């Protein structure tokens, strides 16, 4: 009987345990989708509990120490089986819990840990200038440029890059991830090894911080085949062009014709385009060619073929290019930028005052006209202001021969440091993405090439009483050798001809001239075409012409003005040829300065300090040399001469003896042995 009861009791315990564990196995949480700011999940509850449920309580709580965000809790209906928490923090671990209630009594509870991915940082643009510096049959060496962020605090947080390599199948058009490496800042170079020969790889690079990554930069390259050489290289790329280059020695002669073909391997719209061009390298030019009218965001297989030079069997020595036996072929894989990625390069806020900012950037080289636009927004999140689009002709710098494009943002209600600035380009009718403008003043080794910002708020812009319309054609100073024409305002009165009183070397904009107390200044710079067209010009309209701000005049003022042609001679007077120093490839320094010119840039107090230190060191060296010479002379003198010193020692004895005595002592001092030999000769004198 007891055994039967024990068996029944054991069976009941086993049944309860099975029900308990089966409930634990069935009631659980599963992930559906996880991103940097949301978690989408579902849960499975034992069917026996569903009938008694009246509500569900779902909680998303951060782990202790991972975030200061308070837990998020919601109460939902019992028939709901999935939920999505949004607005979460990236790269954070959350405990997701689901608790079922029957009225106010807890029926079940289950939880799990789910981590959000790294955050997507909207303010962090993609790396640029993704380039292939070297490749073999099993490796690719990639370099890139870290994106520039307008905010210095955000820029300081960028501390890594994430590099991924995807193997591209040209048949299925599918990419498979093969490599993924984090690269710590400031390193911007990586060598991907262990790759397959003659294989195309999509390379993606993201700049990142400790809590997220920015936009994605992309390029496509291919490894070499066994025994192949790295010949065809990518110099630059745009959404619609690829510029390739090669070693000059690869061609048998500089003027040998070659053929370049670009065949589409992949394109966003699925188009299959092939471009074939035959050309030759012009004497004195770099061996390169630009393939144009390509699809944006596409991968191309670029091949280059030529014929080797052959003179065999030619008694006259004339070059011949016989066909198939001397044919040379090389190939590579490159990708165009995606549409909208004509990036404005090196934008910088190079000069600023309390009310104005002077901005420069490098121009985009394109066969069609390019327009640029600048915007600025308060750092506290206010509404942004967008300037009117400007062409390259409207963005000239004040210096002749300057390679930059210049613009001026003035009459700001706050300091420029309270704003963030961006610039973008319009190419082929399409506006590209905004690029942040970093604050980077000119250094001592750079040529200052900016519009001088006004140090004050410019009043009366656009008011007719502060403008004066002039006739450019009445100046009659057209010069065929002129690079630019300067409109100079002379605030001095009297005299019909005061041209001789204008010092070209001191000509500058109004703000600088007022600071230097010069009564004349440049108000505008015009091109020779504008002067030939005799355009209508208004002095004081508050616009920028040729890199000079056309400041408003005094009310109803009628100053004297001159149109001065700026040729090579006048430009050399206004801006003497810039001298510079720099490092050569072998590490040595090469300077265009003479020694006197270089010393003239050193402040006087530094020169005085260096001269004093030099004199002090010279005096110490001289004293040391003199002391050393004296020591040597004394040593030699002692070695050459042997002296004997004689001395007589009189000993007077005051004793009551009846006789006094004297002793003569002689000391022989030998400098070599430094020993003393004493001889005493007694002399006795008796006193009677």
Question: pLDDT per residue over 200-231, tens digit each?
Answer: 999 999 999 988 889 899 999 999 999 999 99
**Highest mean pLDDT range out of 149-153, 478-482, 508-512?**
508-512
Confidence at residue 3, expressed as pLDDT on a 0 to 100 scale: 56
Q: With cut-offs at 50, 70 and 90, classify the pLDDT of residue 655.
A: very low
CATH code: domain 348-435 is 2.60.40.10
Assign domain 24-117 one CATH number from 1.10.1520.10, 2.60.40.10, 2.40.50.140, 3.40.640.10.
2.60.40.10
CATH 2.60.40.10 placement within the chain = 24-117, 128-335, 348-435
Q: With cut-offs at 50, 70 and 90, classify the pLDDT of residue 505.
A: confident
Which of 232, 281, 230, 229 lies closest to 252, judged by CA? 281
Which of 263, 386, 389 lies closest to 334, judged by CA? 263
The average confidence (pLDDT) of the chain is: 81
Do the Cβ atoms of 48 and 129 come closer than 8 Å? no
CATH code: domain 128-335 is 2.60.40.10
**Integer Cα distance of 567 and 674 in angstroms:** 89
Per-residue pLDDT tens for 345-361? 889 999 999 999 999 99
Higher pLDDT: 2 or 510? It is 510
Its pTM surpasses 0.85: no
Confidence at residue 680, expressed as pLDDT on a 0 to 100 scale: 43
Q: With cut-offs at 50, 70 and 90, classify the pLDDT of residue 660.
A: very low
Per-residue pLDDT tens for 176-196? 888 889 999 999 999 999 999
| H-run or E-run covering 512 | helix 510-515
**Integer Cα distance of 247 and 281 in angstroms:** 12
Mean pLDDT of 297-319: 68
User: DSSP strand E in 527-633: where?
Assistant: 536-539, 544-545, 548-549, 560-566, 581-583, 589-591
Do the Cβ atoms of 161 and 188 come closer than 8 Å? yes
């Amino acid at each position: 009987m007891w055994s039967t009861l024990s068996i029944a009791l054991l069976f009941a315990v086993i049944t309860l345990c099975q029900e308990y564990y089966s409930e634990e196995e069935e009631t659980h949480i599963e992930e559906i989708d996880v991103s940097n700011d949301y978690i989408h999940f579902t849960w499975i509850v034992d069917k026996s509990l569903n009938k008694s449920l009246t509500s569900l309580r779902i909680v998303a709580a951060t782990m202790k120490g991972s975030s200061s965000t308070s837990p998020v809790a919601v109460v939902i209906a019992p028939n709901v089986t999935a939920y999505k928490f949004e607005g979460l923090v990236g790269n954070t671990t959350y405990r997701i819990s689901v608790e079922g209630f029957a009225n106010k009594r807890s029926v079940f509870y289950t939880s799990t840990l789910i981590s959000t991915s790294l955050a997507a940082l909207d303010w962090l643009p993609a790396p640029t200038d993704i380039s292939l510096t070297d490749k073999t049959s099993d490796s690719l060496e990639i370099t890139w440029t870290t994106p520039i962020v307008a905010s210095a605090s955000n820029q300081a947080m960028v501390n890594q890059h994430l590099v991924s390599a995807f193997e591209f199948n040209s048949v299925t058009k599918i990419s498979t991830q093969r490599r993924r490496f984090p690269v710590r800042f400031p390193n911007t170079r990586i060598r991907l090894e262990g790759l397959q020969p003659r294989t195309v790889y999509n390379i993606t690079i993201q700049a990142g911080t400790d809590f997220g990554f920015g936009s994605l930069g992309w390029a496509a390259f291919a490894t070499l085949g066994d025994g192949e050489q790295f010949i065809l290289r990518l110099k630059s790329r745009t959404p619609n062009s690829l510029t390739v280059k090669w070693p000059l020695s690869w061609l048998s002669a500089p003027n040998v014709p070659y053929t370049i073909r670009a065949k589409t391997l992949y394109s966003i719209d699925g188009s299959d385009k092939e471009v074939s061009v035959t050309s030759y390298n012009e004497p004195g030019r770099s061996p390169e060619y630009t393939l144009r009218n390509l699809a944006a965001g596409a991968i191309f297989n670029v091949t280059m073929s030529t014929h080797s030079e052959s003179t065999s069997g030619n008694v006259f020595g004339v070059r011949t290019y016989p066909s198939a036996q001397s044919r040379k072929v090389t190939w590579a894989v490159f990708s165009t930028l995606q549409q909208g990625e004509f990036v404005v390069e090196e934008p910088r806020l190079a000069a600023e005052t309390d009310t104005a900012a002077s901005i420069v950037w490098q121009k985009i080289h394109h066969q069609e006209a390019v327009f640029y636009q600048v915007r600025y927004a308060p750092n506290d999140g206010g509404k942004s202001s967008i300037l009117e689009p400007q062409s390259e002709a409207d963005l000239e710098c004040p210096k002749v021969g300057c390679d930059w494009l210049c613009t001026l943002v003035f009459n700001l209600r706050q300091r420029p440091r309270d704003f963030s600035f961006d610039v973008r380009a319009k190419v082929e009718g399409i506006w590209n993405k905004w690029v942040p403008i970093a604050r980077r003043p000119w250094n001592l080794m750079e040529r200052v090439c900016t519009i001088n910002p006004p140090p004050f708020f410019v009043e009366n812009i656009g008011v007719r009483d502060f403008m004066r319309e002039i006739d450019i054609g009445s100046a009659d100073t057209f010069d065929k050798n002129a690079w630019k024409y300067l409109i100079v305002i002379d605030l001095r009165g009297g005299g019909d001809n005061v041209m001789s009183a204008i010092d070209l070397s001191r000509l500058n904009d109004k703000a600088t001239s007022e600071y230097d107390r010069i009564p004349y200044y440049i108000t505008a710079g015009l091109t020779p075409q504008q002067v030939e067209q005799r355009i209508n010009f208004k002095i004081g309209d508050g616009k920028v012409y040729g890199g000079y701000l056309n400041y408003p005049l005094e009310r109803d003022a009628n100053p004297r003005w001159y149109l001065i042609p700026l040729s090579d001679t006048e430009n050399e007077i206004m801006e003497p040829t810039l001298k510079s120093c720099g490092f050569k490839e072998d590490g040595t320094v090469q300077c265009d300065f003479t020694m006197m010119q270089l010393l003239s840039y050193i402040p006087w107090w530094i020169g005085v300090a260096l001269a004093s230190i030099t004199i002090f060191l010279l005096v110490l060296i001289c004293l040391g040399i003199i002391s050393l010479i004296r020591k040597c002379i004394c040593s030699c003198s002692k070695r050459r001469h042997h002296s004997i010193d004689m001395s007589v020692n009189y000993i007077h004895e005051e004793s009551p003896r009846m006789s006094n005595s004297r002793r003569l002592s002689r000391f022989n001092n030998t400098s070599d042995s430094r020993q003393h030999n004493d001889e005493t000769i007694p002399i006795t004198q008796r006193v009677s």
